[in-house]
Each structure stands twice: as structure tokens, then as C-alpha cells.
Structure 1
Amino acid sequence: MIGTFGEVVFLASADQIRTFENFSRSTSARWSLHDIHLRHPKPEYIGPGQDTISFSMRFDVRYGMNPRSEMTKLLVMCREGRAETLIVGGLPMGVHKWYIDTVAQDWTFFDGAGRLLVGIANLTLKEYV
């Protein structure tokens, strides 16, 4: 097992592959600029910003996945606003939970009956404080 995000288990085995690629994390700080007459503005640190994580997941029937049902599960988690712990390599990412901000789906290959064979989900998670 590679990790988990709520009920989604990231794994790579002889029977199934459900993992991610292009994993990216960004963090930011919040600053406010105060205008000062005839001088440069004065920056003031307000606090930490909201971290963002993005990655892609490829679902393929050849690797034991039902792409449509896997991507629907992610869509439901997003629409329900679930905040979950993201664990990678046995350790939680960050100190807070995460929610799915966006899910973009690419439906790549179909069989002759219109069943989805390969799909890609691009996720953006945001820190839930």
C-alpha cells in the first residue's frame, strides 16, 4: 500500500494498480500591503496560506480497476465536501486534513459497447484547517 485518502487506497500489486503520478505540493504565505503616502508600501505578514496538492490518477481495466466507478467515487467525495487525511508512505501529508477542490476527468478509451476502459482523474486537494 502506497497510501490513502479517506476510502481511496493507493496501491500497486500484481492484481491492481491505483496510484498517482505528477504529485505536486505548493504552499504560500498571506501578506497585506499597507499604502504609505509618498513611500513604498509596507508589507505585513498575516499568516500561512492554504497548501495545495495536485496529482493525476490513471484507471485502467487491464490493471483491475473500473475507471468509471473509480472516478465517480472521487466526484462524490468532491461534491460532498469530505475532508480526509492524506497519507503517503505511512506518514500524513501536513498537519491537517485535505478536501478535493477539483476533479477533472479524461475519458480516454472505450470498448465497442461504450464501457470506459481507461480514464484519468486530475485532482486538486486543498488543506482543510
Structure 2
Amino acid sequence: MIGTLGRKIIFEVSDNRVLTFESMSREVSGRWTEHEVLGVKPKAEFLGPGLQTISLTIHLSAALGVKPRRILDMVERMVERGSAEYLVIGGRLVGRRPFRVTGSSEAWDKVYSRGELAKATLTISLEEYA
């Protein structure tokens, strides 16, 4: 097992199934403010950490034992219900808190004659839930 997003999405490579992400980007930031002072440069003040964001691109293929439509529907429900899930990669938490699933984008790459989705590309947007 490569990792999980909550209990529903399991990234794995096995004899029966391949569900992995192609790329993951993570942004970690701090929150700052500036106070204007007459006659001198502004003074910077650190307010605290910002919310981390993550973007995952996942390729879904029926040829690799994954049902693309099922995964897309599952992610859609996560977005619309405001799910907050822990992201675990390599047995370690990414960040210290769960991430809310703020959005998804999908491309239907291959659809068979009866409307069966055989291949899709999914991008999931996550934001730290504090």
C-alpha cells in the first residue's frame, strides 16, 4: 500500500489493482502582516502558520482494475459533503491535521460505446482543516 486519503481512497499497487497518483503538490505558508510606521520601513509581524494545501493528480483506468466512475462518484460525494480526511503516504501523515476535500476536476479520457468509462484523469484539491 502506498497510502490513503481517509478510509475510502486507498493508493496501492497489487496483482489486481493499480491506483496511484502521478503528481502531488503541497503548499506550506505562514501568515504575516505589515504595520506602517511613519518615516521608517514597515514592521513585519508573524501571525502564525497558514493553511496547507495539496493537489493530487490521479489516473484511473479500468485496465488496471479500477472502476473510474466509482472513484469519481466517491470523490464528488467527499467534496459535496465537506469531508475532512487524513492523508497518509508511506505510512506517515502528510501534515498534522486532516485535509478537507475542497474540489475536484475530472477528464473522461476513454468512454466505450455503451457509455462505460474506461479511463479518466482526476485532480483533487485539499486544504488543511484546522
- Band of TM-score, shorter chain: over 0.9
Structure 2 SS opposite 1:69: helix
CA distance in 1, matches of 2:42, 2:80: 41
Superposition pairs for residues 48-63 of structure 1, below 5 Å?
A: 48-63=49-64
Q: In the alignment, does 2:79 pair up with 1:78?
A: yes
Aligned to 1:19: 20
CA distance in 1, matches of 2:69, 2:40: 58
Structure 2 SS opposite 1:121: strand
Aligned to 2:34: 33
Q: Flag structure 1 segments of 5+ consecutive residues without an equivalent.
A: none
TM-score (norm 1): 0.95
Aligned to 1:107: 108
Structure 2 SS opposite 1:50: coil
Q: Flag structure 2 segments of 5+ consecutive residues without an equivalent.
A: none
CA distance in 2, matches of 1:13, 1:28: 36
CA distance in 2, matches of 1:123, 1:84: 13
Structure 2 SS opposite 1:53: strand
Aligned to 1:3: 3
One-letter code of the match for 1:81?
Answer: G
TM-score (norm 2): 0.94
Runs of 4+ in 1 over 6 A off after TM superposition: none
Identity among equivalent pairs (%): 33
User: Post-superposition shift, 1:29?
Assistant: 0.4
User: Post-superposition shift, 1:26?
Assistant: 1.2
CA distance in 2, matches of 1:126, 1:105: 18
User: Post-superposition shift, 1:103?
Assistant: 0.4
